[in-house]
Structure 1
Amino acid sequence: MLSRLKSLNSLQFTFILALYYVCVFNIPFFNVVKHGIDKQADVNMLFIATVPFFLVFALSFVFSLFTLKYLTKPFFILLTLISANVFFAEFQYGAVFDYGMIENLVQTNQSEASTYLNWVSILSFIVTGVLPAFLIYKVNIRYKPFAKEVLSKALFMLAMLAGILLIAAFYYENYLAFGRNNSLIKRSIIPTYFIGSTAKFINLNYLQTPLEYQQLGLDASNTSSKLEQKDKPNLVVMVVGETARAMNYAYYGYQQPTNSHTQEQDLLVFNNTTSCGTATAVSLPCMFSRMDRQDYDERRAKAQDNVIDVLSHAGIQLQWLDNDSGCKGVCNNIKHLLIDNTHKSKWCNGESCYDQVLVDELDHQLADISAKDTVIVLHILGSHGPTYYQRYPVEHRFFTPDCQRSDIQNCTKSELLNTYNNTILYTDYIISQVVNRLKRESNKFDTAMLYMSDHGESLGESGLYLHGAPYALAPKEQTHIPFLAWFSPEFALQNNLDLTCLKKQAAAGGFSHDNLFDSLLGLMNITSEVYQAKADIFARCRR
């Protein structure tokens, strides 16, 4: 028996490999199928019994296209190693490897990627990826003479196709209906879906001709000087959050004191705010772009100005300070600084930095900026997982016991919530520090602060962890975000803002990332043909 396994003909190899992929790598797929069965009142179990056979036949057919001499081993070794990582992410975190996830992976830096490494992920990779890849390397695959090999392969593929058609002949309508009611099914098949998503990403980003760049708002004009009695320039600090979900904010009714640091600072709390995407690579450029979520297109966004550029056209002094994985192109045309993880600071450990490092850098910027209208963006690391415990210093470890590990699925629910809540509380501390610094600048500037997260996070609800779910299927944990604001009394007075009106508007809520473009322009008193007053949150309360 062992000698037979050491030597297989190409068809045997193809079929056994397809079986392995179905029985191991597609466990997440069968979990999705089970979920579909559980929520459906009447299911034909004979139809369900055909699903693994259908998948084996389909993968065998596809794999046959690549079982070619000199190609088979390197191709399937690489595919198996990649599939092992995809399997772990899908099985443990419920991740879906669509276009957005591939984009997010490509833009992830080494430090961020290392946070996903733990003994569970490494062991899974060795058992499901490295060992099978080693067996593929060692097995002797026999090929017939060319003509006979082509004929036998063709007959094998016809047999697989016949099996698919036979199942379809009896259960086509069942597959169609079940697929429509469970749209996550096709997204869970390994390796076909992540390969298709990767091919789409490569095509759109590297093979298609880049669009001609379009500048927007070249007519932008700063009208602050026309405001009566205004004798100081505006200074707005926008804090862009990372992975913060609204449901864990005390401001939104959460029962834990996650906003105790800003409680006395009279922040405006905007209810029911939604994100443009479920991952930074999508949400960050989308929230600053002229496009709304419904019509957002990554290629077009890269080929046109965003609101930061329009502010620059209007002569606003700009700075982007980043402690996350970069600005995803948003800040390319202005002065920007990406914090080096090896930064010589007590806030950095060589792998990541606590967000206090941005507050310290803000101090340096405030000491040097000119007395003119200014916007400074702080892109914080916030609540980025799965190593939530690395996002706050020990002195900010308020909720205990917390989850001091990256394999968060192995923590208890209370431990996971505690460590995530600590990140929210620490972000609240950072916001309070920013507001305090803005108060100190009130002799030189009229000051304001905005805070808005890029997307939310799943913490085990419905078996999902982290973020990046397809937006159409994403739970509210990943799309409902915190949106906070603070205005000094002088800023409100000198910019004709009615704070009482804004508090009512914030309580009513119903905003999204779509509002940011026009709200930033309006807040800085910018006029332009690209400005749309109806989307400006603050225009509705301007005296």
Structure 2
Amino acid sequence: MSKSSLQIAQFALLMSFLNFLFFHYPFFTFVFNHVDYKSFNGIIIIISLVIAMVVANFFAFYLFLFLSRYFGKFLLLLFFNINALAVYFINTYSVIIDESMVGNILNTNYDESSSFFSFKLIIYLLFLGILPSIYIIKTEIIKVSFKKFLTTFSVTLLFLLILVFVNAGNWLWIDKNSKTLGGLAMPWSYTVNTSLFYIHKHKKNEKEILLPNATIKDNKKSVVVLVIGESARRENFSLYGYKKNTNPYLSKTENLYHFNAVSSATYTTGGVKAILDFKKTDDLYEILPNYLYRNNVEVVWRTTNWGEPPVHIKNYQKRDFLMPDCKGEECNYDEVLLTGLKEQILSSTKNKILIILHTSTSHGPTYSKKYPPQFETFKPVCNSVELGNCSQTELINAYDNTIVYTDYILHNVIEDLKQLKDYNSTMIFVSDHGESLGEKNLYMHGLPLSIAPKEQYEIPFIVWMSDSAKQIKPNKELSQQYVFHSVLHFLNIQSPIYDEKLNIFK
């Protein structure tokens, strides 16, 4: 037998061992940090997980290769290269590849995904993906008889079952940490969670559940501008006591209120859906813009972002739609959303108007590219996509500049609304989720809400009103569902699903 020839079992075991060696440092770092590795039970858990990882992957690889050596090799090529990319992101940004993170990846557009490109990513892909792939392609696999396959397959399966029952006492610990363990186990983190994502997406793509009809109760001209922030965490707004002045405009604005709020998710699709839903739900109910549009309200959606539920309105406007009428460098940033905004409101033939601006200002990792140069208030800034290579000061400075720019955008929205003397107007700003900036060695967002740090779910909720006589309830902490009912109240729209408890206005 030549050196480049191996029997299926030998090849599958070698691939399983290399898969374990190359891609499971984050997995076992988590295990070591969450068990008492000096205790007998802790040692048993660690040893059992090592054996289970190698044997379970051998079991799967062996099966695939026996069914078809070509298909089995193709899967291994995919696994090693995707594993390399996955481990790069886990090591660089401390993410977990769970179902919500898979959704983030699959919904990411080209501009956003290209911002993660780095030399370090190429190194990961070359040494952990491409080089093993060359070996996989060149190695000749010697097939075995069905009887030998069945014997090996059965013994392996029996061994796995015995291992599971031997660890019956540790099931509780494994179950408690299953989401994190599953999100770090390669290649099953993304294969299983991608399947779950598409199963749940298919379920959600069923026809949306219509809400009961609503009634507009007066003819008073009213406009709500809902600004959906991206990755804006509360603690970096000086309105909330942050030591750096990141809100130079809003801090001087009259009739402005701010509330503590928490997001329903730590990722865009979940956070935006929660802002637009009338209650916290996984079901696909009719969202706010669709509901109001169907009930004769003028609705405009402007976006430089992505990830919202299906929007069924006439005026859905992306950056490409707005660019021809926008002049100046600011058109390359979120200011493009303000292009002709006041004019569009004035041109409406309806008395009730909802404008939604979905921004992308504070989305990482390229914070320093999310604002025009004149907004680089805090220096030095992080310019690397590998956030761990930047100092904490550089990273936070770059992020804080995105908040300064957000402050300016919100100020301009308010100034536009102030000029609409015939309208009763309000601006509501709420973020989809927060952001980690190196605290506990975590970056960006997307951790499961159950284990996410507060930086990823504590968000700002800021409200401005044109009518100084109108008052706000003294709420201590809001959820994202307050948006739906507050908008209905402000536009004086009566609906059977309206909940006064979730309305911020008196």
Give the structure-1-normalised TM-score: 0.86
**Matched ranges for 1:91-130 at <5 A:** 91-130=91-130
TM superposition shift of 1:276: 1.8
Q: CA deviation at 1:210?
A: 5.5
Distance of aligned partners of 1:401 and 1:212 in 2 relative to their CA distance in 1, 3 Å threshold:
closer
2:250 alignment partner, SS class: coil
Q: Does 171-180 or 413-422 show the bigger shift? A: 171-180
Query: Which residue of the other structure, out of 289, 292, 301, is the alignment partner of 1:311?
Result: 292
1:214 matched to 2:209? The reply is yes
Distance 1:182 1:78, change over 3 A: closer
- Once the two structures are TM-superposed, the CA of residue 421 in structure 1 deviates from its matched residue by 0.7
1:366 to partner: Cα distance = 3.8
Q: Which residue of 2 aligns with 1:369?
A: 348
Question: How far off its partner does 1:524 sit?
Answer: 0.8
Q: Which whole-Å CA distance do the structure 2 matches of 1:203 and 1:310 have between them?
A: 26
Is 1:341–1:353's contact at 8 Å kept on the other side of the alignment?
no
Secondary structure of residue in 1 paired with 2:6: strand
Q: Match for residue 516 of structure 1? A: 483
| Distance in structure 2 (CA, Å) of the matches to 1:134 and 1:391 | 39
Name the residue aligned to 2:42: 44
- Report the 3-state secondary structure (helix = DSSP H, G, I; strand = E; otherwise coil) of the residue aligned with 2:404: helix
SS at match of 2:264: coil
Tell me, yes or no, if the aligned pair for 2:92 and 2:387 is still in contact at 8 Å: no
* Residue 63 of structure 2: aligned partner: 65
| The one of 212, 226, 233 aligned to 1:245 | 233
2 CA distance for matches of 1:40 and 1:310? 58
Secondary structure of residue in 1 paired with 2:141: strand
| Aligned counterparts of 1:264 and 1:31: Cα–Cα separation in 2 | 48
2:489 aligned partner, one-letter code: G
Pick from 314, 318, 336: which aligns with 1:357?
A: 336
The answer to whether residue 495 in structure 2 is matched with residue 528 in structure 1 is yes
Does 1:261 find its partner at 2:242? no
Tell me the residue number matched to 1:288.
276
Q: Check if 1:195 corresponds to 2:183.
A: no
Could you say if the C-alpha distance between residues 222 and 472 of structure 1 is closer, same or farther in structure 2, counting changes exceeding 3 Å?
Answer: same
Structure 2: tracts of 5 or more residues without a match: none
Contact 1:217/1:313 (8 A) holds in 2:
no
Where does residue 5 of structure 2 map in the other structure? 7
Aligned partners of 1:521 and 1:70: how far apart in 2? 59
Picking from 446, 451, 461, the partner of 2:429 is: 451
Aligned equivalents of 1:33 and 1:486: distance in 2? 47
| 1:397 CA displacement | 0.3
Aligned length: 503
Q: Secondary structure at the match of 1:392?
A: coil
Deviation larger for 363-372 or 523-532: 363-372
**Deviation for aligned residue 1:165:** 4.6
Question: Which amino acid letter does the alignment assign opposite residue 363 of structure 2?
Answer: H
Tell me, what secondary structure is at the counterpart of 1:468? coil
Q: Which residue in the other structure is 1:482 paired with?
A: 460
Q: CA deviation at 1:516?
A: 1.6
Aligned equivalents of 2:266 and 2:502: distance in 1?
A: 22
Equivalent residue for 1:438? 417
The CA RMSD over aligned residues, in Å, is: 2.6
Partners in 1 of 2:322 and 2:224 — Cα distance? 29
Query: Would the alpha carbon gap of residues 44 and 322 (structure 1) be closer, same or farther in structure 2, given more than 3 Å must change?
Result: closer
1:328 corresponds to which of 296, 309, 318: 309
- Identity between Structure 1 and Structure 2 (%): 29
1:390 pairs, out of 362, 366, 369, with: 369
CA distance in 1, matches of 2:21, 2:209: 50
Corresponding residue of 1:153: 149
Which residue number in structure 2 is paired with residue 22 of structure 1? 20
Deviation at 1:76, TM superposition (A): 1.3
The one-letter amino acid of 1:337's match is Q
CA distance in 2: counterparts of 1:377 and 1:396, whole angstroms: 24
Whole-angstrom distance in 2 between the partners of 1:10 and 1:406: 41
Partner of 1:33: 31
Q: 1:379, 1:87 → 2: CA distance?
A: 31
Which moves more between the two structures, 395-404 or 245-254?
245-254
What is aligned with 1:228? none
Whole-angstrom CA distance in 2 between matches of 1:119 and 1:126:
11
Q: Which runs of 5+ in 1 are unaligned?
A: 226-231
Deviation at 1:181, TM superposition (A): 5.7
Indicate if the aligned counterparts of 1:270 and 1:483 stay in contact, CA closer than 8 A. Answer: yes
Between the aligned partners of 1:342 and 1:72, the Cα distance in structure 2 is 48
Aligned partners of 1:323 and 1:355 also within 8 Å: yes
Aligned match of 2:319: 339
| Whole-angstrom distance in 2 between the partners of 1:96 and 1:267 | 41
**Counterpart of 2:147 in structure 1: which amino acid?**
L
CA–CA distance in structure 2, aligned partners of residues 414 and 193 of structure 1: 33
- Would the alpha carbon gap of residues 64 and 347 (structure 1) be closer, same or farther in structure 2, given more than 3 Å must change? farther
2:440 maps to amino acid: S
User: What is the match of residue 77 of structure 1?
Assistant: 77
Q: Mark the CA change 1:285 to 1:174 in structure 2 (over 3 Å): closer, same or farther.
A: closer
